[in-house]
Amino acid sequence: MTTDSSHKDMTLGEALRSQGISRRGFLKFCATTASMMALSPAMIPKIAQALEQARRPSVIWLSFQECTGCTESLTRSYSATIESLIFNTISLDYHHTLQAAAGSHAEAARKAAMEENYGKYLMVVDGSIPLGNPGYSTIAGISNVDMLMETAKGAAAVIAVGTCASYGGIPHAKPNPTGAVSVSDLIHDKPIINVPGCPPIPVVITGVLTQYLTFGVLPELDDLGRPKAFFGQAIHDRCYRRPFYDKGLFAESFDDEGAKKGWCLYKLGCKGPTTYNACATTKWNNGTSFPIESGHPCLGCSQPDFWDGGGFYKALSIPTEDITRDIIYASAAGIAAGVAIGVMNKTKKTSANKKHQKTTIDDLEK
Amino acid sequence: MNALAQFNIQIGDELTWNVQPILHEVRHALKHLIDSGETAIIDLRSIPLAPGEEQKLIDTLGNGEVHAGLNALGPSEIIETRFAGVWLVTHYNEEDSIIGRFIEITELPDILRSQREDMIAALDALEKQLISDQVPETNDTTSEADQ
């Protein structure tokens, strides 16, 4: 990323030209940007005009309870591509995975960026924040919650990248041992944009930055805080297998005739009908395909609590668990449902250990 | 053997039934271009197409008289289809993956024209080149005078 101080006052257009990007290249960038932002191609000249004059924002990126998959998604998948230009031309002043500085030097860089750009910088967060015990996750001896709240004070806006930062994600899954919460559980006085996904589609991350740079305002959000441009439609609505769903043609297993003919994966647990994301049109691996195109049901990773949805391979129409039957005695004894689920999971784990046989879909549901 | 055949994935003649409506949209846009001069762009990435359907659409549009290549932030391919005024513009990144594909209904896609900003930069570069070409002559004169 460019951190040369002489570039800090450049507009985005100037920064791109200084990298030898021609106007044709810039138009190409704007055309693909409009496409990824689901904007009409008629918007291309307006995007070009706005981006030309946009100033490079200071970005402070905080990583908390996460697997680094979100950063990997952004930096690996789209290295040396047009989308990476946006990432390269922001002033990324703090990102403890990517920066060379460490320890007190890194923290000094964060504080310097905060002071210099107070009220104007963007704060990007990936990972959930543990509230159970501050010692579960610290950076330079600072607890995640303290660093989040301190850095948020001077931020113009907060972008929660990934399902962990947006909704708690996998650390928040039952029984949530660290007391993990999302960014929006803690910050209530700043605009927050959720960019969920496990990981999010890289161009969606850069698309949100581009939207902010282009229009100077935050994108329109849905009721879960996600930009409508990318999360406005269900996977199911944009899925090329949708006509099979409408005709009632389903794959019943991963290797039956229906699977080979590319029929709908609904009965194999596809969460496309209840999942809002851009996978079906933006796709993954530089537009190669998306999970359903590769023959696997959508897991619903951009939705809150997707890990506790009752099973990746159960159709949406099947009740998640027969909780009433298993916890009836527990309930009668006044034990909370959460404890009962924990008991049920332990029983299943013991049972699975005893069986110790070849893994099947049924096993995955146990 | 292509990837789909390799994995024994069978593609029917029609999956999304979106190919025919797109061709009708192109027909409407071409008529509008002839009548009013107004151009149109269709973003193929915004339309759900099954594996094989995009290729079917491209095959139907075919190749016309113009086939241009662009090298800016990775290659781009600009083809006038066998239907004059209907262009297929495909942008690739530097790893040769497709990052955008558009059908443009226009006399000439904008991206093929020389751009004003590039021409201004080119003029500046050419002038600097001419000045630098003169430098050796000046040096030669100086050295002769010194002698």
- CA of B14: which chain A residue's CA is closest? A243
The DSSP line for A11-54 is: BHHHHHHHTT--HHHHHHHHHHHHHHTT--GGGHHHHHHHHHHP
Q: Chain A interface residues facing chain B, Cβ-Cβ under 8 Å? A: 17, 21-25, 27-29, 31-32, 34-36, 38, 41-42, 44, 80-83, 85, 238-243, 260-262, 280-282, 286-288, 293, 295
Q: Which residues of B touch A281 (CB under 8 A)?
A: 45-48
The DSSP H or E segment spanning B42 is: strand B40-43
Whether residue A180 contacts residue A146, with contact meaning beta carbons closer than 8 Å, is answered with: no
Radius of gyration, alpha carbons of chain A = 23
Q: Which residues of B touch A288 (CB under 8 A)?
A: 97
Q: Does residue B67 sit in the same domain as residue B138? A: no
- How many residue pairs from chains A and B have C-beta atoms closer than 8 A? 112
Q: Is the ipTM of this complex over 0.85?
A: no
Instruction: Identify the band that residue A88 occupies on the pLDDT scale cut at 50, 70 and 90.
Output: low
Q: Model confidence over A355-365: pLDDT tens digits?
A: 544 455 565 55
Identify the burial level of B30 via C-beta atoms within 10 angstroms of its C-beta, where 0-12 means exposed, 13-18 middle and 19 or more buried: middle
Q: Does residue B102 sit in the same domain as residue B121? A: no
Q: What average pLDDT does chain A have?
A: 80
Task: Average the pLDDT over each of A23-37, A264-278, B122-136 and give the range with the smallest value.
Answer: A23-37
pLDDT of A315 strictly over 70? yes
| CATH number of the domain encompassing residue B75 | 3.30.1370.140
Q: Does residue B108 sit in the same domain as residue B142? A: no
- A339 versus A254: the higher-pLDDT residue is A254
Q: Does residue B82 sit in the same domain as residue B53? A: yes
Q: Do A35 and B100 touch (CB under 8 A)?
A: yes
Q: Is B9 within 8 Å of chain A by CB?
A: yes
Whether residue A316 contacts residue A274, with contact meaning beta carbons closer than 8 Å, is answered with: yes
**pLDDT value at position A8?**
59
Q: Does residue B101 sit in the same domain as residue B49? A: yes
Range of the structural domain that residue B11 is part of: 3-113
**pLDDT value at position A142?**
92
Alpha helices in A155-199 (DSSP H): 162-167, 183-186
Q: Does residue B96 sit in the same domain as residue B62? A: yes
Nearest by CB to residue A262, choosing from B9, B47, B111, is B9
- Residue to substitute from A14, A24, A289, A294, interface B, most B β-carbons within 10 A: A24
Residue A258 identity (one-letter amino acid): G
Superfamily of domain A235-308: Cytochrome-c3 hydrogenase, C-terminal domain (4.10.480.10)
Write down the architecture of domain A56-231 according to CATH: 3-Layer(aba) Sandwich (3.40)
**pLDDT value at position A265?**
96
Q: Is B98 within 8 Å of chain A by CB?
A: yes
Residue extents of the structural domains in chain A: 56-231, 235-308, 323-365
Arithmetic mean of pLDDT, A148-156: 95
Cβ neighbors of A236 (< 8 A, separation 6 or more) are A242, A245, A270, A272, A273, A274, A275
Q: Does residue B56 sit in the same domain as residue B103? A: yes
Instruction: Identify the band that residue B45 occupies on the pLDDT scale cut at 50, 70 and 90.
Output: confident
Q: Is B6 within 8 Å of chain A by CB?
A: no
- A366 versus B91: the higher-pLDDT residue is B91
- Min distance B110 CA to chain A CA atoms (Å): 9
**pLDDT value at position A177?**
95
Q: Do B99 and A287 touch (CB under 8 A)?
A: yes
Q: How far is CA A67 from CA A49, A107, A127, A184, A296, in A?
A: 38, 21, 8, 20, 23
Domain count of chain B? 2
- A311 versus A209: the higher-pLDDT residue is A311
Strands A121-126 and A155-161: parallel
**pLDDT value at position A82?**
47
Q: Which residues of A touch B98 (CB under 8 A)?
A: 286-287
**pLDDT value at position A360?**
55
Q: Model confidence over A9-49: pLDDT tens digits?
A: 677 777 777 777 788 888 888 888 777 766 777 777 777 77
